[in-house]
Amino acid sequence: MRECSGVNQLLAVTAMALPAGFIFLSSWVRRAALMAFAVVASYLGNGARIALVGFLATRGLANGDLRGLHLLEGLVVSALCYLFILACLSLLVATERAGKSTKTPHGAAAAGNRQVWRPWFEIASLMAALSIGVGLLFFRTPDVRLDSDLRTFPTRIGEWSLESLPRPARFPAIDDELVQAYPSPEGERRFAAIDDELVRVYRDSSGQQVRLYIGYHRSQREGKELAGEAAHLLNAASMPIRLPVGLETVELGEVVRQSRTGKRGVLYWYDLNGRVLSSMYLAKEYMAWDALTRGRTNGAVVMVQWESSGSVDAESSRMKAVAFARSILPLLSTFIPS
């Protein structure tokens, strides 16, 4: 799970080891050795922490009444990790000082020259870091609103008509079973902090249903982005499919799973300023590019869900959902900015 990834600890260790290596060590080899040791110690410490949580759980100590125990064991493991890194730094500093004591006069002169430019390098690095931090703090892309309200999306699309009284469903939530994710407390994930969204159910003349979801971000930032947990799970579980739309061929993502009563699946894609993308990573790259070149980070996610049950042919249901997705793709440009 995200909480057990150890990324936060790795960032903390790196944030301490980098300046410590620069301040106390002058050899790039020793600095690299310190960073390597810090990364290894961070991963080993995180593994030990998770193993200890499992051990406490098997002993009946990992319940809600003893959360303080979880915090305590995490702090103890982290403290041991930092002590190991400090010991490594001390050892590297000691060996470096021992080597300096045998330096030649030429080596001593070179060290003196390094001491002259080093303060200026430190000042320049500090100013660059502060400038970047201030820039990120005050940089906000403007909101880009939809060209048309999603509530005016057509109620009839080809042979599909809007279902007036749809059955309750978890959609647009992405349940753990569909994407074969690690069980979550809620059993589902969602695209969070959406600015504009549309959830509808359409039915064709044969009675086949599809569920449509359009979620639009007017702008994106940390904690309010398309590339969140739901996007990661879809990206990991999906296979790409290519559809001809007009004179172009677009790529969508598809997830198909066997359920207790039949098959079900979801088609999804991202719409970033007229680009149709199935890859979350490619969507992030284009978002960064649009932020730099156009000063905007707006984007949308579109999902089409289908399912078959009983005697209904699963492949027929799937192809109907694919045809529905092909029908709405040209309509989206009327609503989503390009």
Same domain assignment for residues 161 and 71:
no
pLDDT of 82 over the 90 cut: no
For residue 171, tell me if it sits in a domain. yes
Same domain assignment for residues 169 and 78:
no
Same domain assignment for residues 194 and 323:
yes
For residue 124, tell me if it sits in a domain. no
DSSP alpha helices (H): ranges in the chain? 7-24, 28-58, 67-100, 105-138, 176-179, 229-237, 280-293, 314-332
Same domain assignment for residues 190 and 314:
yes
Containing structural domain, residue 260: 150-332
Same domain assignment for residues 201 and 323:
yes
Q: Is 144 helix (H, G, I), strand (E, B) or coil?
A: coil
For residue 21, tell me if it sits in a domain. yes
Read off the pLDDT of each residue in 199-205 and give the average, rounded to a whole number.
93
Is there a contact between 275 and 289 (Cβ–Cβ < 8 Å)?
no
User: Residue 68's pLDDT is what?
Assistant: 63
For residue 305, tell me if it sits in a domain. yes
Same domain assignment for residues 93 and 156:
no
**Percent of the chain, pLDDT > 90?**
40
Amino acid at 289: W
| Cis amide bond preceding 172, omega within 30 | yes
Is there a contact between 214 and 334 (Cβ–Cβ < 8 Å)?
no
Among 11-15, 63-67, 120-124, 220-224, whose mean pLDDT is lowest? Answer: 63-67
Same domain assignment for residues 166 and 285:
yes
For residue 274, tell me if it sits in a domain. yes
Residues 230 and 252: their CA atoms lie apart, in Å, by 16
For residue 128, tell me if it sits in a domain. no
Same domain assignment for residues 62 and 176:
no
User: Residue 223's pLDDT is what?
Assistant: 81
Of 102, 133, 163, the residue at which a domain comes to its end is 102
For residue 126, tell me if it sits in a domain. no
CA-CA-CA-CA torsion for 129, 134, 139, 140, nearest 10 degrees? 120
Same domain assignment for residues 165 and 308:
yes
Tens digits of residue pLDDT in 274-326: 999 999 999 999 998 998 899 899 999 999 999 987 666 888 899 999 999 99
Of 63, 81, 102, the residue at which a domain comes to its end is 102
Residues 296 and 229: their CA atoms lie apart, in Å, by 22
Among 137-141, 169-173, 220-224, 255-259, whose mean pLDDT is lowest? Answer: 137-141
For residue 138, tell me if it sits in a domain. no
pTM listed for this prediction: 0.69
Residues 130 and 138: their CA atoms lie apart, in Å, by 12
Same domain assignment for residues 53 and 162:
no
Same domain assignment for residues 167 and 245:
yes
Of 37, 69, 102, the residue at which a domain comes to its end is 102
pLDDT of 261 over the 90 cut: no
Same domain assignment for residues 82 and 170:
no
Total domains in the chain come to 2
